[in-house]
Copies of this chain bind each other. A is one copy, B any other.
C-alpha cells in the first residue's frame, strides 16, 4: 500500500543515514552510500529530505534527543547527587553500549560545527537550566557536608570523562592494544561499579 510504503521508506532512509553519518561524519558521508545502505535510489533521499544538510540535521536531532531524554530526567528528578550519578552511569553505559558510535559522532560534529550544531545542543540541554540547577544541588550538598568542596565544574567534568571516554577510546583497546571485542564489552559493564567507586572516594565525605 502507498501510505505504508512511504513510512517504510522514510524510516529506511533515516536508519541508513544514521549509520553512514555516524560512521563517517558529515564530510565523509556520501549520499550514494546512504542510498546503497537503504537499497533505494539516490533521488529518493532528496524526495523525502531536501538536502544532505537537512537529512543530517534530522539525524543529529534524534541522536541528541536520545541522549537528552536519558540524562535530563535523572538530573532534574529527585534524589541526592550521588543517587543521580549512580543512575546516570548505569543508564548511560547501557544506552551507549547499544549505540557505541554516538559519543564520537556528537563530539566530533560539535568540534567541527559545520551545521550550527551548538545551537541545537543549547536548545535541547538548557531546557529549564537543568545543568545549572544540578550544579546548585552539588554546591548545596557541599555546604551540608555531604560532598567534598570541589568546584562543581570539575565534578561534572570528571563524571563525564569517566563514563563517556571509554567508548571514544574503544579503537585504542580493540585496535591498537589488541583486546578482543567481548573483553572490551565486559570492561564496559565492570565500569559501572568502578566509576561509581571512584566518584564516591573522590567527592563524597
Stretch from A6-14, A75-83, A118-126 at the B interface:
A118-126
Of B28, B191, B201, which contacts A27 at CB under 8 A? B28
Q: Kindly state the interface size class of chain A when it binds its partner.
A: 35 or more
Contact B154 A161 (CB under 8 A): no
**Cα(A179)–Cα(B23), bound, Å:** 30
**Cα(A28)–Cα(B109), bound, Å:** 11
Q: Which residues of B contact A157 (CB under 8 A)?
A: 165-166, 169, 173, 187, 191
Listed in ascending order, the chain A residues whose CB lies under 8 Å from chain B are 23-28, 101, 104, 107-108, 110-114, 118, 121-122, 125-126, 131, 150-151, 153-154, 157-158, 160-162, 164-166, 168-173, 175-179, 187, 190-191, 194, 197-198, 201-202
**Cα(A50)–Cα(B33), bound, Å:** 27
Q: Which residues of B contact A108 (CB under 8 A)?
A: 25, 104, 108
